[in-house]
Amino acid sequence: MSARWVNRGLDALTWLVLLAMLAPILWLIASSLQTDGQLSRGTYNLLEPTFTAFSRMWQTVDFERYLLNSLIICTIAALCATAFASTAGYALARFHFRGAKPLSLAVVGTQLIPGSLFLLPLFMGFIWLKQNTPVALFDTHLGMILVYTAFFTPVAIYFMRYFFAAIPRDLEEAAMVDGCTRFGAFVRIVLPAAAPGLLATFVYAFLFAWDELLFVAALTQENAETIPIGIRNFIGNYQERTAQLMAAGVVSTLPVLIAFFATQRWLVKGLTAGAVKG
C-alpha cells in the first residue's frame, strides 16, 4: 500500500520537475506575447496575448539579415563538418593506420584549446589576408563557414565513428566482392546505411554553430553577422523593448527546436554513445 503512494508521489514529483524545467521557456513565450510597455511596468496580462512584438521586432533591428546569415552559415558549415567527419569517422572506425591514435587524441585535444587563444591569430590572419590578398575571409560568409566547419568537425568525427562502428562490415565486403571500389562501397553502401547518424551529426553541428558567439563577434563587422550579434545589438540599443527582445528570442530558438525534435531519436543515440558503450 505504501509503495503505491510513494510511486504516486514520485510521479507527481516528475511532473513538477518537468514544469520547473520548462517554466523559463513558457515565460519566454508568454512575455513575447505582451507589449513592451506591459513588461517594463510589470503589468502582465497573460490572458490577452498579442503578436505586436513579433511584427515589430523585424524593424527594430535588421533581424531578417541576421536570421538569414545564421541559416546560411550554420547550414553550410554543418554540412561540410558532417561530410568531412563522415570520411574521417569511417577511416577511424574501419582502418588500422599509423596516426589513427594521434588523430583520435587530437580530436579531443581541440576541445582543450580556449577559443580566445586561436581566435586572435585567426582574426589577425583574416585581416592580413584582406590587406594583402584578394581572399576575403574577414566579415564574409565564407570566413565564418570555414571557421565553423573546423570547429564542429572534431565532435562530428566522434559521432560518426560511433554510427559507422554499428554498421556490419559484411555489407561493404559484399559490395566489394561484387566489384565496387572501396570508395564506391563507402558512398553507395555505408553512407546510406548511416543516414540517421549523418542527420544526427548534421543537426548537432548545426545546434552548436547556431549558438556560437565568441568568434562571430570578433570575425565579423556587418556583412556576416549572425543572430547572437543581432541579439547583442538589440540589448545594446533597445533594451526597453523587452517584448520584442523576447519575441526575437523565440524566433531564434524555433529553427533549432524544430531541427532537434525532428531528429531527437537519433541525436540522443549519438549523444549518449559514450554512456552505453562497452
Partner 1 sequence: MAQTTLQSPPEAGSARALPTRAGRPRRRRTLFAYWLIAPAVAFMVLVHLVPTAGGVLLSFKRLNTFTFARLFDAPWAGLENYRSILFDTANPLRDGFFGAVQNTAVYTFWTVSGTLAGGLAIALLLNRQMRGIRLIRTLMLTPWIVPSFVVAVLWQFMWQSDVGIVNKVLVDYTHLLSERPIWLLGENSMWAIIIPSVWRGLPFAMIFFLAGLQAMPPELHEAAAIDGAGPFRRFRYITLPLLRPLIAVQLLFGVIYAAYQFAIPYIMLGSNPGPDADLMMTLIYRQSFSNNLFGFGAAASVLLMAAMCVWVAIWYRAFKRDLEVT
The footprint of partner 1 on residues 16-35 (CB under 8 A) is: 17-18, 21-22, 24-25, 27-28, 31
Task: List the one residue from 50, 84, 184, 233 that touches partner 1 (CB under 8 A).
Answer: 84
Task: Say whether residue 46 binds partner 1 (CB under 8 A).
Answer: no
- Taking the C-alpha atoms of residue 175 and residue 185, their distance in angstroms, rounded to an integer, is 6
Q: Nearer Cβ to partner 1, position 68 or 105?
A: 105
- Taking the C-alpha atoms of residue 236 and residue 238, their distance in angstroms, rounded to an integer, is 6
By the 8 A CB rule, do 267 and 200 touch? yes
| Strand positions, DSSP E, the chain | none
* Closest separation in Å from C-beta 51 to partner 1: 19
List the interface residues with partner 1, window 175-234 (CB under 8 A): 176, 182-183, 207, 210-211, 213-214, 217-218, 227-228, 231-232, 234
Residue 27 grid cell = 515565460
Site string for partner 1, 85-124 (x = CB under 8 A): x-xx-xxxxxxxxxxxx-xxxxxx-xxxxxxxxxxxxx-x
Task: List the one residue from 220, 242, 244, 263 that touches partner 1 (CB under 8 A).
Answer: 242
Provide the 8-state DSSP code for 42.
T
Task: List the one residue from 50, 128, 184, 187 that touches partner 1 (CB under 8 A).
Answer: 128
Task: List the one residue from 59, 174, 237, 261 that touches partner 1 (CB under 8 A).
Answer: 261
In angstroms, what CA-CA distances link 136 with 107, 127, 229, 235? 28, 9, 20, 30
* Closest separation in Å from C-beta 28 to partner 1: 5
Nearest of 161, 164, 271 to residue 207 by alpha carbon: 271
Residue count at the site for partner 1 (CB under 8 A)? 110
Around Cβ 266, how many Cβ atoms within 10 Å?
Answer: 20
Task: Say whether residue 142 binds partner 1 (CB under 8 A).
Answer: no
Q: Nearer Cβ to partner 1, position 136 or 150?
A: 150
How many CA atoms, within 13 angstroms, populate the side-chain half-sphere of residue 198? 16
List the interface residues with partner 1, window 148-167 (CB under 8 A): 149-151, 153-154, 157-158, 161-162, 165
- Taking the C-alpha atoms of residue 25 and residue 21, their distance in angstroms, rounded to an integer, is 8
Q: Nearer Cβ to partner 1, position 52 or 176?
A: 176
Q: Angle 140-217-224 (CA atoms, 0-180°, nearest 5)?
A: 25
Q: Nearer Cβ to partner 1, position 88 or 189?
A: 88
Residue 58 grid cell = 523585424
Residue 247 has phi, psi (to 5 degrees) of: -60, -40
Task: List the one residue from 64, 173, 178, 240 that touches partner 1 (CB under 8 A).
Answer: 173
